[in-house]
Amino acid sequence: MGFKSILTVATDQTALAPLLGSAVAMATREDAHLDVLCLGLDRTQVGYYYGGGAALVYQETVERAQEDSARVEAEAKAILDGQTLRWSTEAEIAQIGSIVNPVGMRARFSDLVILPRPYGEGRGPEDEAIVEAALFDGRVPVLVVPDAGIGPDLGRRIVLAWNQSDEALTAARQALPFLIRAESVNIAIIDPPPHGPERSDPGGALSQLLTRHGVRTEVSVLARTTPRISDTLTRHAMDQDADLIVMGAYGHSRFREAILGGATRHMLEQSEIAMLLAH
């Protein structure tokens, strides 16, 4: 059991090297095929242009997007050339509002998608849209790598965020290749409900499930001592010297998290630790 088909999506030539470095490290470790989607973005918003001008603007932006995707693909090939792993690249263009089509389709037939953090300096709305397309339309786990990248030993110590939700259980199942190899997996539960189904043994059933797969688990029940759950989880991961956080993504609606925030969005904004997300 493992990740044999890995996808990454690149839109920015300047940020390509660290992203591909992480993807190559993971594909090499998993003996997987690495697919690189080189996406050029058409940012046209036709409704904002005067009559007759939209067609001219659209043609210009399409040509620019094609040039961008070609440049990203050329750079990707230059980086991957000579690597011992199996890889392929594909150039395509898409409008911001339709990123879901090329990304979601390719993610559906991948075991793992590797993407950079969608928030922070130099990030744009397309980065968030790509992460969401892979999670919601691809239905595939997404490994979000920090700016510093990842090494071949990723997943040595893992914190698995557990709140009894469907998303958290999906993440735990899809992360099994990582969990089985880990030296330790800490199941972190923050303020478990006193009257929930696991009130007598929080995390016990999940720990038993994972132990039967050979996963070395321990359970930490934590009090929420910070304003945001994400802050408590991040601090706990640092205390555990974890190099990977596994968590369910978007337990609330994307609209609510975009407007009001939520654990997933806050983690994507602040975490310097790699995260495996699933929905």
Q: What is the pLDDT of residues 57-94, one digit of tens each?
A: 667 888 999 999 999 999 999 999 989 999 999 999 99
224 lies in the same domain as 124: no
Percent of the chain with pLDDT over 90: 74
pLDDT at 59: 78
Residue 50 has pLDDT above 70, yes or no: no
The whole-number pLDDT of residue 55 equals: 59
Higher-confidence residue: 56 or 151?
151
Same domain, 52 and 179: no
Average pLDDT taken over every residue of the chain: 90
Examine residue 42 and state whether it is found in any structural domain, yes or no: yes
Q: What is the pLDDT of residue 256?
A: 47
Cβ atoms of 94 and 102 closer than 8 Å: yes
Q: Please tell me whether residues 97 and 177 are part of one structural domain.
A: no
Instruction: Give yes or no: residues 164 and 77 share one domain.
Output: no
CA distances from 223 to 43, 118, 161, 230 (A): 45, 29, 13, 12
Residue 52 pLDDT greater than 70, yes or no: no
Q: Do 12 and 136 belong to one domain?
A: yes
Say yes or no: 21 and 118 in one domain: yes
- Tell me which DSSP letter residue 136 carries: I
Rounded CA gap, 148 and 103, in Å?
A: 24
- Tell me if 152 is assigned to some domain: no
Confidence of residue 17 (pLDDT cuts 50, 70, 90): very high
Q: Are residues 11 and 140 in the same domain?
A: yes
Mark whether 131 and 15 lie in a shared domain. Answer: yes
Domain end residue (candidates: 118, 145, 172): 145
- Domain membership of residue 268 (yes or no) is yes
Whether 18 and 141 share a structural domain:
yes
Looking at the fold, whether 24 and 122 belong to one and the same domain comes out as: yes
Name the domain count of the chain: 2
Could you list the beta-strand ranges (E) of 176-267: 184-190, 217-222, 244-248
User: Would residue 151 count as lying in a domain?
Assistant: no
**Residue 63 lies inside a defined structural domain of this protein:** yes
Tell me how far apart the alpha carbons of residues 98 and 43 are, in angstroms, rounded to a whole number: 11
Q: What domain range includes position 233?
A: 157-278
Kindly state whether residue 237 falls inside one of the protein's structural domains. Answer: yes
- Residue 250 has a pLDDT of 87
What is the value of pTM for the model shown? 0.92
* Domain presence at residue 132: yes
Domain-embedded: residue 150: no
- pLDDT, one tens digit per residue, over 163-188 is 999 999 999 999 999 999 999 999 99
Residue 223 pLDDT greater than 90, yes or no: yes
The contacts of residue 93 (CB under 8 Å, 6+ apart) are 39, 40, 41, 42, 62, 65, 66, 69
Pairing relationship of beta strands 142-145 and 157-161 according to DSSP bridges: unpaired
In this prediction, what percent of the chain has a pLDDT beyond 70?
Answer: 91
Specify the CATH number for the domain of residue 120: 3.40.50.620
CA distance 92 to 149: 25
Question: Where residue 193 falls among pLDDT bands split at 50, 70, 90?
Answer: confident
N-term to C-term CA, the chain: 20
What is the predicted pLDDT for the residue at 139? 94
Please check whether residues 127 and 231 belong to one and the same domain.
no
Same domain, 139 and 194: no
The sign of the CA dihedral 212, 170, 216, 200 is: negative
Give residue 121's pLDDT band: very low, low, confident or very high (50, 70, 90).
confident
State yes or no: pLDDT of 219 exceeds 90. Answer: yes
